[in-house]
Every structure is written in structure tokens, then in C-alpha cells.
Amino acid sequence: MWVNGWIWLIAALVLAAIELFVPGWAFMGLAAAVGIMGVMLLSGVWTAGLPLTLIVTALMSAVVWFALRRLVGGSKGDVRIWDRDIND
């Protein structure tokens, strides 16, 4: 049941909907990784069992989160740390 791609795609949509109510990028990386894994399961590219699928999804989630953070950047409310004097 857990290697059914449709369940993973539905979970990705639920996580993306949760992202609308939570500030920041908390669930977007996970939603994207779960969606990618769902497509991979549906297309037959990924055929491993549930434990390995969860590990790969977690790793993909971290990669997608860091990529989104790098591409989009932080929010305007983030604290800036000055490492040099602005008068130099």
C-alpha cells in the first residue's frame, strides 16, 4: 500500500496545503520530495521497499529545501549579522 504512487502524490498535495498556513519553507521541500517520489513510483523508476523509499525521500527533501532556500533566499524579517564595519 505504501509504495503506491497515488498515495505519495496525495500526501504531497496535503503537505503543500499545510505550507500555505505555516510561515517559511517548512513543508515545501518535503512536499516537493514526496511529489517527486510519487511520480517515480507511478512511472516505475523506483521499485525499492518502504524503508529505503523513506530515506531517499528525506534526503531529497533536504536537497530541495536547500535549493529553494538558495534560489529564493530568506525572508525580509531575517536577522542580518554584520561581519565588517559599514564605514570601511
Q: State the CB neighbour count (10 A cutoff) for residue 24.
A: 11
For 72, left (φ over 0), alpha (ψ -120 to 50), or beta? alpha
The count of residues in the chain is: 88
In the three-class reduction of DSSP (H, G, I as helix; E, B as strand; rest coil), residue 86 is classed as: coil
Confirm if 37 and 57 have CB atoms less than 8 A apart.
yes
In sign, the C-alpha dihedral spanning 48, 50, 51, 56 is positive
48-78 tens-digit pLDDT: 888 999 999 999 999 988 888 888 766 666 6
1-14 tens-digit pLDDT: 667 889 999 999 99
Residue corresponding to grid cell 530568506: 74
pTM for this one? 0.75
